[in-house]
Amino acid sequence: MITGASSGIGAEAARHLASRGYRVILVARGQAELESVARSIGDQAVAEACDASSGEQVLALAERVRSTYGAPDVIAHCAGAGQWKLIEDTSPGEALLMMQAPYLAAFNITHAFMRDMLARRSGVIIHVNSPASIFPWPSSVGYAAARWALRGLHESLCQDLTGTGVQSCHVVFGRVDSPYFDHNPGSAAKIPRIGSTVRTLSTDECGRVIAQMAERPKRELLHPFMLRFYGWSYRLAPALVLWLLRFTGAKRR
């Protein structure tokens, strides 16, 4: 099951998983977009429109999926949104929307199928996240907080799932060549300058990494290499990395 599967990383993850023989259940809010992705994949793809931030909708979805296909072997949480803003420029409504996806969507879907996975003693849950979940940069308070919440969900699951056969994975990608910056004008100027040393990823590459993680789970992966290097550096010298992240093209008013 892939959330955020109507476009971008989620759609590409679905394609790569289907190519490896998985039946993929595509979840997002837009039925028409999901059906378009499902048609491009073929008979192995099923479109299930659902607002994953709604607990009631997710429980209803889980019943449909469970009765027709059984509980999923892999859940990939690819849903996510949010703008990079200062806290004084972020309305409470915007903060709530950013928390709904990725955090609440991931929580609700995982909750709905966890008992099935535990009873089966197998399953892989993949949380697709942003570098802001590890080291936030300026002007991204609501976005970073939601990403830290998703990371907190993963870390907490790792504690609870030890010895159960169910595994939680955390995948962090650098900048991805997607429509995000077109839809959020001004955000590109807020990218830390050291971000230029991390190569931009295609959504296809991200989808391939997720499919590989489904078959060879890891607790955490930062991709590509330079992002992983900064992750190691942060563990050794967090103050230095946070200082470097303050250098962006954006200025506080």
Q: What is the rounded CA–CA span in Å between residue 83 and residue 96?
A: 12
Q: What's the confidence (pLDDT) of residue 191?
A: 87
Which one is predicted more confidently, 186 or 91? 91
Q: How confident is the model at residue 180 (pLDDT cuts 50, 70, 90)?
A: confident
Question: Would you tell me how many other CB atoms lie within 10 Å of the CB of residue 58?
Answer: 24
**Length of the chain (residues):** 253
Q: How confident is the model at residue 248 (pLDDT cuts 50, 70, 90)?
A: confident
Q: How confident is the model at residue 76 (pLDDT cuts 50, 70, 90)?
A: very high
The average pLDDT across 181-209 equals 88
pTM: 0.95
- pLDDT of 251 above 70: no
Residue carrying structure tokens 């709530």: 96
Tell me if 53 sits within 8 A of 105, measured CB to CB.
yes
Q: How far is CA 136 from CA 110, 116, 131, 225, 246, in A?
A: 25, 35, 7, 19, 9
The full set of domains in the chain, from first to last, is 2-245 (3.40.50.720)
Which two three-digit tokens encode residue 172? 């962090």
Which two three-digit tokens encode residue 4? 């955020």
Q: What's the confidence (pLDDT) of residue 34?
A: 97
